[in-house]
Structure 1
Amino acid sequence: MAALCFGVAAMMGAASALGIFARGDGDAQHATSIRGEVFHYTTSGVYAFNAERVVAEGIGWDWFTLAVATPAMLAALPLLVRGSLRGRMFALGLLGYAFYQYLMYATSWAFGPLLPLFIGLYATSLAGIVWIVSTIDLGAVARALGPGFPRRRMVALCCVMALVLLGMWTQRVAVGLRSETPQLFGMTTMVVQALDLGLIVPLCLWTAVTTWRRRPVGYLLSALLVVKGFAMAAAIVAMLLSAWAIEGTPELPALIVFSLFAAMLSWLGLRMYTAAAPRIEDRHAEIVAV
């Protein structure tokens, strides 16, 4: 399990480093999509043939992955070797982040040299998620988090995140459907909106319901979501800052919202993981993992 997570960390580091340092010379060309959308796309580097705006956002996301997510995965490896329950929950959240990021990259970036790496990353991350979940005793998770678990705050934040994403993206989709030239940045469809509405919103709502009902699976989903959610929100903040630096136009509402999400999720994550009793470990799962 530690070896698999090390492989994911190595691939994340390689993919994000290539995205940052092999992005080309910044040359771009003017284009009009088949729908009539006017945009500029890059002509060199590993992200060639993508819209400038998409590349600008991707560079910010890659910086977060390289500087934060990859070291965090490496830091979890000693805990995984020891069979730590908290280590497995933490790694589960990071694998969820890697799965989402590279599934999105594989399906939204223009065809290029990093596609095989993106596919390998989301496939390996999904395999790791299934493997780790199969070794976790849900009752042990509930006992580890204990009475100090911030249940109501977690439920409230999950509901708010689901409503914000639902409101943002359904409005974006509705505007696109009414327009003859929807804002797609040269892509054929809204990949991020499809993934968020089909995966993240249901995950947030399911986590809220099961946590509110004190179901053990709710505790596990909460431990996963605070890590994945923080990483995603912080990566989006980095993405927006990168786009701001390149284009000179800030998206202040989104920047404020996702900064608040990152702050709240980091606070809840610290509450959960520091409250988890180190003495309560799933020894049977440790044997299975070995």
Structure 2
Amino acid sequence: MKNQKSISILVLVITTLSIIATSYAIFSNQGPGEYEYQSIFEETVSIYGKGLYKHDSVSMAAQAIAQDYVTLFLGVPLLLFSLYLSRKGRLKGYLLLTGTLGYFLYTYASYSFLSMYNSMFLVYVILMSASFFAFTLEMISFEIAKLPLFFKEKLPVKLIGGFLLFASFVFGMMWLAKIVQPFINHSPTEGIEHYTTLVIQALDLGFIVPVGIIAGILLIMRKPFGYLLASVIIIKDITLLTALSAMIFLQIRAGVEVSSTIVILILLLNIVVIYLMFLILKNVKEVAGTASKRWEGHPM
């Protein structure tokens, strides 16, 4: 695999800085505590009032802290484990590493643009940048044309591709429902609170939903790029949906009202995506030898 040294250095930078950022966010607690704030949209917002997220809303702070826990105790170990496997020339390691880097890129892009300005801003920007370049280097390191040779024929491409299409449709419709009706009524969308725009919805509708649709279609058609794209987005979704599950738990704990439909949907998707990741990794055919031999087109 090409670019291994550069990727390893970037992964170590991401690991170090994410441990610093998440640990500080989880354990910082200074500040007066919760208070009310009137936003420019004339919405009364409960501000968290303490720690790193003291200027964020109670809802957003609960979500961010939940994601910090998932990043620290799931994302970082998975990042290091997948780097270890990739250094040993394992295709499973390359796929896991690429998907996990996708999670870090998404996470710290959202933190850089969404979170209220705080002392970790430059750390978020460095993490976003390092994740972007590491993810890009991983993606261009694959020999796409030969990739189907390293998956078993019994890989359930219709099941995995169908799920990606379904999940993309569900999230696309969910976010559009949140945006379109208030737009028609010339009113601010529910839950925008004191923030300036819908960053998560922009990232999902602009990148995640289209990529999920493309990955699903290409995989069903057994196109080479579909194997990579589907594997990466499924692995990324493991960490992302786990983070969303944790966010829901901490939001409920903080007294934020969460739709029971959303709770059930996220938990079910989380379970399904874990199962699909198991199917993908189970159907990878590893090649004996070094990483350089991986792309010679001779799977076991």
TM-score when normalising by structure 1: 0.93
Q: 1:50 aligns with which of 41, 46, 56?
A: 56
- Residue 173 of structure 1 is matched in structure 2 by 179
1:71 aligns with 2:77: yes
- Residue 283 of structure 1 is matched in structure 2 by 292
- Residue 147 of structure 2 is matched in structure 1 by 141
- Residue 214 of structure 2 is matched in structure 1 by 206
> For 1:31, what is the secondary structure of its paired residue?
strand
- Residue 244 of structure 2 is matched in structure 1 by 236
Larger deviation, residues 88-97 vs 247-256: 247-256
Percent identity reads 21
Residues 256/208 of structure 1: CA separation in 2 closer, same or farther (3 Å cut): same
Q: Matches of 1:284 and 1:186 in 2, distance apart?
A: 54
User: Counterpart of 1:180 in structure 2: which amino acid?
Assistant: S
1:80 aligns with 2:86: yes
- Residue 111 of structure 2 is matched in structure 1 by 105
- Residue 255 of structure 1 is matched in structure 2 by 263
Q: Once the 2 structures are TM-superposed, how far is the Cα of residue 91 of structure 1 from its aligned partner?
A: 0.4
Q: Matches of 2:117 and 2:232 in 1, distance apart?
A: 31
- Residue 4 of structure 2 is matched in structure 1 by none
- Residue 131 of structure 2 is matched in structure 1 by 125
Alignment of 1:177-196 (within 5 A): 177=183, 178=185, 180-183=187-190, 184-196=192-204
Which runs of no fewer than 5 residues in structure 1 stay unpaired?
A: none
Residues 140/87 of structure 1: CA separation in 2 closer, same or farther (3 Å cut): farther
Larger deviation, residues 257-266 vs 174-183: 174-183
- Residue 19 of structure 2 is matched in structure 1 by 13
RMSD over aligned CA atoms reads 2.0
Q: Matches of 1:68 and 1:209 in 2, distance apart?
A: 30
Q: Matches of 2:182 and 2:111 in 1, distance apart?
A: 22
Tell me, yes or no, if the aligned pair for 1:53 and 1:185 is still in contact at 8 Å. Answer: no
Q: Once the 2 structures are TM-superposed, how far is the Cα of residue 85 of structure 1 from its aligned partner?
A: 2.2
Give the total of aligned pairs.
Answer: 287
Q: Once the 2 structures are TM-superposed, how far is the Cα of residue 175 of structure 1 from its aligned partner?
A: 3.1
Q: Matches of 1:96 and 1:227 in 2, distance apart?
A: 9
TM-score when normalising by structure 2: 0.90
- Residue 170 of structure 2 is matched in structure 1 by 164
Larger deviation, residues 230-239 vs 136-145: 136-145
> For 1:30, what is the secondary structure of its paired residue?
strand
- Residue 219 of structure 1 is matched in structure 2 by 227
Tell me, yes or no, if the aligned pair for 1:20 and 1:63 is still in contact at 8 Å. Answer: yes
Q: Matches of 2:265 and 2:206 in 1, distance apart?
A: 21
Which runs of no fewer than 5 residues in structure 2 stay unpaired?
A: 1-6, 296-300
> For 1:247, what is the secondary structure of its paired residue?
coil
Q: Once the 2 structures are TM-superposed, how far is the Cα of residue 115 of structure 1 from its aligned partner?
A: 0.9
Q: Matches of 1:194 and 1:248 in 2, distance apart?
A: 23
